[in-house]
Structure 1
Amino acid sequence: MNLERVGDKVRCRAFPVTLAGPAIRWFNSLPQCSVVTFLDITRAFLAQFTTRIAKEKHTINLLGVTQRAGEPTRKYLDRFNDECLEIDGLTNSVASLCLTNGLLNEDFRKHLTTKPVWTMQEIQNMAREYINDEEVSQVVAANKR
């Protein structure tokens, strides 16, 4: 419509056709005559829906990914890796530091602090040993009960 230099009336009439779900319900609930120009509807739409836009994740988000009490190391690493995949330009040093910071498994943490920077691949390979140990300990504890 911008290329065709269409006026506000046409834009305002065409806009609701592009909406679905919550957006069309919001549009239908607007008071009559509350939209005079396309700029009015643009501002109202953005005010209503911009908080729902997915925000880009940054490396600082990784500091909030911590192992929960009672959470197996395997699940923590899975959650941590999922977060890493959503961050562009993540370096091994930052990922390694954040992972170590959020880790509750003291033995694993001590092992990770012996070397300044680990790649995520190295951490995953090393984690297998600690994860296997945790899982065997859980099975033994369950059998004792």
Structure 2
Amino acid sequence: MPIIKAYDGTGDPTSHVRTFSNALLLQSVNDAIKCRAFSLSGMAQWWYNRLPAIWIGSFKNLSQTFVKQFISGRVHEKSSASLMGIVQGAKESLRNYLNRFTKEALKVPDLDDKVAMIALQQGAGDEFFKILLSKRAPKNMLQFQDRAGKYIKSRRITDIS
């Protein structure tokens, strides 16, 4: 059986169940073994040991009860509105801002390119970059990133000379 990091009562329980289930997809194990092999430690293990035997007979029941018990640790999905609050710091490079923004944007399910581009442009502190984008608006995020990369490269060249 694959080794999976034990859930200790902190973090996203849904993610733990998904990771555990995915790791066992290619294994030929029945529900009883899944229930016994469910990797828990600390407070989560204490909770598991106190469960009535009826909850441990079915992995579906166990995982549903587990998620309900530890739901407070669940990571909530971000919305596109949360991206509007990401702004370039006064001493932050445009490259670092774009990288930080991209990491946060990946946490937003079904993010629309137009919303992401608006949030990126509003949060950018480089006025020349904003002017460049407003003159000829990019059609999608790929084009946006391409223009940003070229702009950053051109700024680096002018900063050296």
Q: Which category of TM-score, normalised to the shorter sequence, fits these structures? A: 0.5 to 0.7
1:116 CA drift (Å): 5.6
State the SS of the aligned residue for 2:41: helix
In structure 2, the residue matched to 1:83 is 104
State the SS of the aligned residue for 1:57: coil
Q: 2:142 aligns with which of 108, 121, 136?
A: 121
**Does 1:108 pair with 2:125?**
no
Q: Let me know the Cα RMSD of the aligned residues.
A: 3.6
What is the number of equivalent residue pairs in this alignment? 126
Gaps of 5+ in 2: 1-31, 56-61
**CA offsets, 1:7-33, max 9 Å, x none?**
xxxxxx98973443xx42114545x9x
1:42 CA drift (Å): 8.2
Q: Which has the larger radius of gyration?
A: 1
Alpha carbons of structure 1 residues 25 and 44: separation in structure 2 relative to 1, 3 Å: farther
Alignment of 1:1-145 (within 5 A): 17-20=36-39, 23-29=40-46, 38=55, 45-46=66-67, 49-115=70-136, 118-136=139-157, 138-139=159-160
State the SS of the aligned residue for 2:135: coil
**Structure 1: distance between partners of 2:114 and 2:138:** 5
Q: Compute the TM-score of the two structures, normalised by the length of structure 1.
A: 0.61
**CA offsets, 1:87-120, max 9 Å, x none?**
3332222111101111011100122233566311
Contact 2:138 2:144 in 1 (8 A): no
1:129 CA drift (Å): 3.2
**Structure 2: distance between partners of 1:60 and 1:104:** 19
